Structure 1
C-alpha cells in the first residue's frame, strides 16, 4: 500500500473513499496525526499529516519514528512525501516540482535510527525489522540511492504527461529549523551542491529505508532561499504558494495511486541484506 505524508499546506486528500481513520500507538510514541485509510478505484492508500491536522508540530519536533512505524503497522510499504522547499539552485523557480535524488543532513538533535543496539525498543512482529530490533542488533544501511528509483520514475512520467514544470533530480539540504536559514548558510549549502533546502526531509527518508519501505519525495519550490530572494522570508509566503499548487499536487498524487506498479522492482525491500553487524 502507498502512504502519503502531507507537508505544509497539505493536510488531507479529497477524491478518495475514506474507509477508516486510525490512531496507531507505536513503541516510539504517537504519530503526528491519525492515519486516514482510503481507496481510489480499488487501490488502497494511507494519508498522514506530518505536522498534524492543525500544523501543531514544528519540523524539529515531528515524531518521525512514530509516523513511519504507524504507516508500517497498517501495511504501507511505499511512501510519497510532499514537502515545500526553498530554492538554492537559481534554475529552480517558485512553483516548480522537484523529484529529489539525494540529500545533505544538517540537523542536530533528531533521532534518526530505529536500530540502537542494546538500547533498541521492544517491538512485536516476525519480519526482519522486528528480528533485528528484538535481537538488539547494530545495523548500517546503505544510502547510496536513498530515494526509490521506481517511484521517482513514476512521478516523472506523470509530471511529463501533465506538462507540469519539474526537475528530475536535485539535492535536498535538511536544516534543523524552525528558523529559516541565514544567507551565509545558504551560500555554504550552494557550494556543497544543494539545490533546495527544507526542514523535514531528514530523518524521514532514512527511517523509511530502515523499515525497507520505498520512499520518494515530491518537493514544491515555495520561494528562493535566504540571500537569493532579496527580501525577508515568511511562512505566509510558503503556505500561499502551496495553496496555489494544491490542486496540481493532488492531481499527481491521484495519478500515482492509480499508476504505480503493484510489484516492487527497485530493491528497496532488500536494504537490510548485509547491513547487520
Structure 2
C-alpha cells in the first residue's frame, strides 16, 4: 500500500482548494526550473492533498510559458500519487454545453513550442500514451462530479492547441468535423505526457466555457462570456474536488492500469552511456528505475 496524495492542477478560474486542513504554500525547487507557483498542501478528510495553480496566482503564465516539466517534477518530488487536471475548454458538440464538465480520455497534441519530455540525449526513453489518462482516477472524477450535482460527460477527445489566440473558424470546423474532437484547450499537453513519464496517475476534467468559433448561434469566442461561465464552473470544480478524498482513500494499491510502472521498460540508453547530469535531473521523475 502507498499513501495517497492527490494533486489538483487548477486552470483558469481555479486558484485554490477550499477546506484544506493545515494548508501552507511551499516553494519547491526542481532541476527543471521554478514551477508555476508555490504549492498549497494540506489534508482534506484525512487524505493528503496538494494544489498548484497552473498559470500561477494572478494568471501570469500563458499556456506556452507554463513550466510543465517543473510542475510535474515538483508534484512528484513532494509525494503526489494522483493528479487531477482541471481546465477551461471550448466545446465542439452541441450536447457539451457551457457549464458542463467532460472527463477527457484522449488527446490530439497540436502544440509546438513546448518541451514535451524529461528525457533526451544521454538518457532516451519512450513511454506509451495510447491511453493517456487513468481510468481509475477518471472513475473517481466522474463519481465526484455526479455527487456534487455537476452535469458530467464521460469520455472525449481534447484538441490541445498552442494558443494563446483562439481558433479560426476554419480550424474550429476542421477539428470538429474532420478530426472528430470533442473539446479544445491549450494546457493539457504536454502535461499529460509528462505525468505519464513521471509514473503518476492523471485524469483530466474539462470545464466547458464556450462553443469555440464553429457554432452559428454563438459566433466567435468572447473572453467576457468565458469569464462569466468560469465563475460558475469554479464553484462546481471545488465541489468535485471535495468529494475525491473519500473516493480515493488515504492509501492506495498499485495502479491497476500500470500508470505507476510506465517507465518499467521505457529507458533505452545503456547504463554505461547515460549522461550523469541528465540522470541527476531525473532523480524524482525516474529514480525508481534509475536507482
Determine helix, strand or coil for the equivalent of 1:218: strand
- In the alignment, which residue of structure 1 is the partner of 2:256? 265
Could you state the TM-score of these two structures normalised by the residue count of structure 2?
0.86
- In the alignment, which residue of structure 1 is the partner of 2:95? 91
Determine helix, strand or coil for the equivalent of 1:240: helix
Q: Structure 1 stretches of 5 or more lacking a match?
A: 119-136
Could you state the TM-score of these two structures normalised by the residue count of structure 1?
0.90
- In the alignment, which residue of structure 2 is the partner of 1:144? 130
Query: Matched residue pairs, number?
Result: 259
- In the alignment, which residue of structure 2 is the partner of 1:237? 225
Q: How far, CA to CA, are the matches of 1:17 and 1:272 in structure 2?
A: 34
CA drift of 1:236 comes to 2.5
The counterpart of 2:40, out of the listed 26, 36, 41, is 36
Alpha-carbon contact 1:18-1:36 (below 8 Å) kept? no
RMSD: 1.3
Q: How far, CA to CA, are the matches of 1:86 and 1:39 in structure 2?
A: 32
- In the alignment, which residue of structure 2 is the partner of 1:203? 190
Q: How far, CA to CA, are the matches of 1:75 and 1:168 in structure 2?
A: 28
C-alpha deviations, 1:116-173, integer Å up to 9, x for none? 132xxxxxxxxxxxxxxxxxx2111001110011000111222333442111000000
Q: How far, CA to CA, are the matches of 2:162 and 2:38 in structure 1?
A: 25
With over 3 angstroms needed to count, the CA separation of the structure-2 counterparts of 1:247 and 1:32, relative to structure 1, is: same
- Give 1:174-213 correspondences, 5 Å limit: 174-190=160-176, 191-213=178-200
- In the alignment, which residue of structure 1 is the partner of 2:275? none
Alpha-carbon contact 2:45-2:245 (below 8 Å) kept? no
Determine helix, strand or coil for the equivalent of 1:141: coil
C-alpha deviations, 1:4-25, integer Å up to 9, x for none? 1010000111111134321112
Q: Structure 2 stretches of 5 or more lacking a match?
A: 269-291
Q: How far, CA to CA, are the matches of 1:109 and 1:161 in structure 2?
A: 38
Determine helix, strand or coil for the equivalent of 1:152: helix
- Asked if 1:113 is matched to 2:113, the reply is no
